Amino acid sequence: MARRSTTNPVLETEPLLSRRAFLGRAAGLTGVAAGLAVGGYVVYSDQPIRQGAVQVARFKDFRVAPDPLRPVMAVVRGTRVEAMVQESVGKLGGVARFIQRGDRVLLKPNVGWDRQPEQAANTGPELVEAMVRICREAGAASVWVTDVSLNDPRRCFARSGIEAATVAGGGQVRLPGRDDFVATEMGGKVLKVWPVARFFHEVDKVINLPIVKHHSLSGCTLAMKNWYGVIGGQRNRLHQSIHDSIVDLAAAVRPTLTVMDATRVLKRNGPTGGNPADVAREETIIASLDEVALDSFCLSFLDLAPEAVPFLALAEARGLGKVAWRDLNVVRSQVG
Amino acid sequence: MGGLRGVRRIYAAFFLGLFGFLLWAGEFERLKGFEVGLFLQLDPLTALGGFLTSHTLYKGLALALLILIPTLFLGRFFCSWICPLGIVNQVLSHIFHRRRAVESWEENRYRPVYRVKYYLLVVLLVFAGLGSLQTGLLDPIALIYRSFTLSLLPAVDRAGGGGWFALPAVFHGGVLIGGVLLAILLANRLITRFWCRALCPLGALLGWCAQWSLWRIRRDVDRCNQCKQCLRACQGAADPDGALRHTECHLCMNCIEACGTQALHYGLAGSRSSIGRPLDLNRRRVVEVALAAVVAVPMTRSTLSPRSTPTPEVIRPPGSLPEAQFLARCIKCGLCMRVCPTNVLQPALLEAGFEGLWTPLLMNAVGYCEHHCVLCGQVCPTAAIRPLSVAEKVGAPPFTKPVRLGTAFFDRGRCLPWAMDVPCIVCEETCPTSPKAIWYETVAITSRDGRKVTLKRPFVQPELCIGCGICENKCPVTDLAAIRVSSVGESRSGDNRMLLNQQSGWIEGTIDTGLG
C-alpha cells in the first residue's frame, strides 16, 4: 500500500511497489508492447502506399439477335416525330424485338451543351420523349436517360428540354455525379481502362439517340461519336487521337438500337453551334442496327464523303458495320 | 418560458430558420426565385456603406430602413431577435454559461474594451465615405454568409460525400474565412457574446441609433432589491442593475424574466424609473480614429492594385462594374459564389489588392463562366455585379455585342498542336460563341521521325472572344493551360483594352452596355 501523501510536496516520496502490483503493471505493459509489435507487423509494407485491387467493369453486349429477314436501317421522313419514331422502329421489327417486359432501359441522347432545342446542339426533346414513351409502353420496368455533359449537366438537361421530355414520357433523368463512375475495360486501341457512368452497367438495354452535327475535328458528330458521353475522366485528351477513340468507344458499347435525330441538323460551328442560322430542317428520323452504316448514311446531311471521315473505314475494319450502306437492306418511308 | 423573452425566442428561432432556409435555397438547383439575399438587404450597415460610396440606396437595400427606423424608437432589437450571427452567439453563450453567480457578474459587467466596435464602425464609414466599401469584412451578415458559403457548407458537403457541384466545392483560402467564424463562435466561451459586445460594427451602428430610443428596459428603483439576478442573465453587458446602458442593450429581455421583484419592464419610463447612461464614447478618440482612417485610405490606394493598373488575373463576374465602382459596392458576402453553377467564382486573397480581399474572381482552373448563366448578377444584393439578362450577356438583340470578361491567349509553347505536333483543338470545340472565337489553320508538317502529320493549329479572334474561360478550363494541359484568359478587353473597363475597334461607344466612367 502506498503511504498517504504528506501535505508538503517537497517531502513526498514515491510509494513502494508490491510484487503483485509490479507483476500486474509489467503484464499490462507487455500486452501493449505485444500489440504494437503485432500491429507493426500487420501494417508493415515495402511499398510507399498500399494499393487494393481495382475492380474493373466490362460493358454487357446490349444487342439483340440479328434477323436476316428484317431491314438493318429504316429512314423515315415526316413532321410528327413520335409517329416517325414509331414507324422507323416498326420497320426494324417493332419495339417488342428490342424491349422485353421488365427490362431496365437506358437512353443515351446527346446532351452535351447548355443549348436550346432550336440550336440543334443536343438531341431533340421530341425524339427523347417519344422513345421513353415507346419503351414504357413496351413494358420496360424503368427508362433512364443520361449523358456526361460538357457544360454544367443540370443546365444542359434543363435547357435542352430533355429533362422535361423524359419526365413527360415517364422516364427518369440520371445525372452522373462524382461518385457515379466506375473503372471500365474498354479494350480499345487507345482507350484501355476509363471511368464510365455506372448507369450503363445497371441496365439491360441501351438505346443510342444521337443527333447529326458538324464537328470541326472529326468532321461530324453522329452515332459512334455520341459514345463520348459514356465516359468521364480527362476526356479532353481523346482529341489527340479522335478517330481511334471514336472507334474504340463504338466497339466497347454495342447498343440495342440507335435512333438518329436528323430533324434539325447543325451544319456549321459544331459541335456547340448557338446560331439558329447554322441549323437546317431535314425532318428525318433513322433507326438502325448498324452504327457504321447509319453514320455513313448521315454524311449526306453534312455534304461529307466517307473518305473525309477516317473513323468510318477504321470502324469497318474493326468489324463494327458497313460503310457502304447501299449494300444493306435499307427501307425508306414517309409519315404524315 | 413566457413573457417578452419567450416572444424574443420565437422570433429568434424563426429568423435563424429563415436564414438557414435561404442559405439552403441558394444552391443552384434550388433557386426558385427565393430572395436569397434578404438578410443582406435588411442590413443597415450595408445600406449605409453603399449609400456613402454611391449616394444611392440600391433597390432591396431600402429594406434596411425596416430595421433602422424602428431601432430609433425601440432600441437595438435586431441583435437578439433577427441577426443570425447574434442568435448563434446567444445560443452558444447560453450553452457556455457560467454556473456560479460571482463569475457571471464579473463576466457581464460593462468593460471599456466594448468601445472598440464604435471605433471599427468609424473606420469603416470613413473608408466608405472615401469610396472604399470595407463594411463587408466585419458586417455580421456578410461575414456569416461568407463563412457558411465558402467554408462551412463545402466542408459539410465534403464530409457527407455530397456537393453542390459535380465535384466538391473548393474555395480559394476558404479555411481562413471559416477560421474567422470559428474564432468568433469560440470567443463566447471566454466572454458571453464577445463579438456582439466588442467588435460588431453593425451593433455599434444600431447602438448609436438607440441613443434616442423611447422604449427601453426600465428599472423601478423602489422595487429593486439589488440582487443582481438581472446582471447574471444580461447578454449585452448593459448593466441592468444600475444605470442601464441602452446603447449596449440587445433587448434579449432576460433581465425582466430573471428579476424576482418585477422591478424591470420594457417600455416608457415610470415615475420611479432609473436613469440611463449615455453612449460611452470619447469624442476626441473618435476624431483620432477617423483621422487615422483618412490617412489609411490613400495608403491602400497607393498600393499596386487593379484600381491603378490592369491586372491579368483579376477577371470579374459578368456585369461587374468598373473596378473602382465595383470596390465601392462589393460587400464580399459570397452570395455570387454560392449560386455559381461551375464553382469558377472564387474569393480573392490579395490578387485584387488589399481593398479587394474576398471579392469574387473567376479562376478558370476551377470552372468557367457558363454562357447563358446570369445568376451572380441576379443575386448580388448591392449590384456590384449588375443584374444582366441573358440577351445582354450574350449580345442578342437588342444588344449589339456580348459582355466580355477578358480575352483568351494561346501559350504556343504548351499547346499540343503548336508545340508537340499532337492533334487537339478541344478549345475550339468548347468555344460557345457563334461564330467561334477560336479558329484553326490546317497545316501538313513532317514530324521528327519523318511522318507526315496534318494538324489543326488554333488561333483566337479577339473581337469574338468573350473571356468565358471554358477553353482554359477544358484544355488537356491540366496544370497551367495552354490557353488562358486575362482581363484585357473586359467590357467593364474603358482602359483595359488592346484593340482599337473595341473602344467605340465607350464614355469615360461608364460601362459598355453593348447597346451599340
| Nearest CA-CA distance, residue B30 and chain A, Å | 11
Residues of B in contact with A275 (CB under 8 A): 434-435
Residue in A with minimal Cα distance to B473: A236
pLDDT band at B157 (very low <50, low <70, confident <90, very high): confident
CA distance B166 to B342: 9
Size of interface A-B (CB pairs under 8 A): 81
CA distance B305 to B361: 14
Interchain contact B28–A (C-beta under 8 A) = yes
**Rg value, chain A, Cα:** 30
- Under an 8 A CB cutoff, do B428 and A237 touch? no
Strands A142-145 and A104-109: parallel
CA distance B358 to B347: 4
| Nearest CA-CA distance, residue B400 and chain A, Å | 15
Mutate to test the interface with A, among B429, B440, B441 (most CBs of A within 10 A): B429
Residues of B in contact with A151 (CB under 8 A): 370-371, 470
- Under an 8 A CB cutoff, do B436 and A114 touch? no
Position of cell 455599434? B204
Residue in B with minimal Cα distance to A221: B429
- Which of B:123-162 have CB within 8 Å of A? 161
Top pLDDT among B418 and B31 is at B418
pLDDT in tens, A19-77: 999 999 999 999 999 999 999 898 887 777 766 667 899 999 999 999 999 999 999 99
Position of cell 519523318? B450
- pLDDT at residue B504 tops 50: no
pLDDT at B513: 65
What's the average model confidence in pLDDT over B239-246?
92
Q: Tell me which residue of B387, B383, B446, B366 sits closest to B150, measured CA to CA.
A: B366
Interchain contact B342–A (C-beta under 8 A) = yes
| Nearest CA-CA distance, residue A130 and chain B, Å | 26
Interchain contact B167–A (C-beta under 8 A) = yes
Q: Which three cell numbers stand for residue B498?
A: 488592346
For chain A, the residues whose C-beta falls within 8 A of a C-beta of chain B are 113-114, 150-155, 159, 176-179, 215-217, 234, 236-237, 239-242, 269, 271-275, 278
Strands (E), chain A: 73-78, 104-109, 142-145, 172-173, 181-185, 193-197, 205-209, 211-215, 219-221, 257-266, 279-288, 330-335
Q: Tell me which residue of B195, B146, B196 sits closest to B172, measured CA to CA.
A: B146
CA distance A271 to A149: 12
Residue in A with minimal Cα distance to B422: A240
| Nearest CA-CA distance, residue B336 and chain A, Å | 17
Interchain contact B481–A (C-beta under 8 A) = no
CA distance B362 to A241: 31
Residues of B in contact with A240 (CB under 8 A): 416, 422-424, 476
pLDDT at A46: 79
A270, A216 in Cβ contact below 8 A? yes
Q: Tell me which residue of B271, B283, B351, B286 sits closest to B316, measured CA to CA.
A: B351
- pLDDT at residue B505 tops 60: no
pLDDT in tens, B371-409: 999 999 999 999 999 999 999 999 998 998 899 999 999
| Nearest CA-CA distance, residue B367 and chain A, Å | 10
Q: What angle do CA B265, B269, B270 make, to 5 degrees?
A: 85
Neighbour tally for B99: CB within 10 Å: 6
Interchain contact B436–A (C-beta under 8 A) = yes
Residues of A in contact with B466 (CB under 8 A): none
Mutate to test the interface with A, among B420, B424, B434 (most CBs of A within 10 A): B434
Interchain contact B163–A (C-beta under 8 A) = yes
- Under an 8 A CB cutoff, do A239 and B426 touch? yes
Q: Which three cell numbers stand for residue B226?
A: 439589488
Instruction: Going residue by residue through chain A, which has 336 residues, state the pLDDT in tens, using 9 for 90 and above.
Output: 455 555 777 777 788 889 999 999 999 999 999 999 999 898 887 777 766 667 899 999 999 999 999 999 999 999 999 999 999 999 999 999 999 999 999 999 999 999 999 999 999 999 999 999 999 999 999 999 999 999 999 999 999 999 999 999 999 999 998 789 999 999 999 998 999 999 999 999 999 999 999 998 899 999 999 999 999 988 888 999 999 999 999 999 999 999 999 999 999 998 998 889 999 999 999 999 999 999 999 999 999 999 999 999 999 999 999 999 999 999 999 997
Residue in B with minimal Cα distance to A151: B370
- Under an 8 A CB cutoff, do A114 and B474 touch? no
Q: Which one of B436, B470, B476 has the shortest CB-CB distance to A269?
A: B436
Residues of A in contact with B168 (CB under 8 A): 178
Q: Tell me which residue of B141, B142, B158, B85 sits closest to B343, measured CA to CA.
A: B158
- Under an 8 A CB cutoff, do B429 and A274 touch? no
| Nearest CA-CA distance, residue B375 and chain A, Å | 12
- Under an 8 A CB cutoff, do A242 and B373 touch? no
Strands A211-215 and A219-221: antiparallel
CA distance B278 to B266: 18
Q: How far is CA B465 from the centre of its chain?
A: 30
Percent above pLDDT 90 for chain B: 75
Interchain contact B30–A (C-beta under 8 A) = no
User: Is A323 exposed, middle or buried, given 0-12, 13-18 or 19+ CB atoms closer than 10 A?
Assistant: buried
Q: Which one of A215, A234, A272 has the shortest CB-CB distance to B432?
A: A272
pLDDT at B503: 54
pLDDT in tens, B290-317: 999 999 999 988 888 888 888 999 999 9
Interchain contact B395–A (C-beta under 8 A) = no
| Nearest CA-CA distance, residue A178 and chain B, Å | 6
- Under an 8 A CB cutoff, do B168 and A239 touch? no
Q: Tell me which residue of A246, A292, A286 sits closest to A123, measured CA to CA.
A: A286
- Under an 8 A CB cutoff, do B426 and A241 touch? no
Query: ipTM of this predicted complex?
Result: 0.71
- pLDDT at residue B516 tops 70: no
pLDDT band at B507 (very low <50, low <70, confident <90, very high): very low
- pLDDT at residue B63 tops 80: yes
Q: Which one of A216, A236, A242 has the shortest CB-CB distance to B474?
A: A236
Strand partners for B445: B453
Q: Which one of A152, A154, A275 has the shortest CB-CB distance to B434?
A: A275
Helix or strand holding residue A167 (H, E): helix A162-169
Percent above pLDDT 70 for chain B: 95
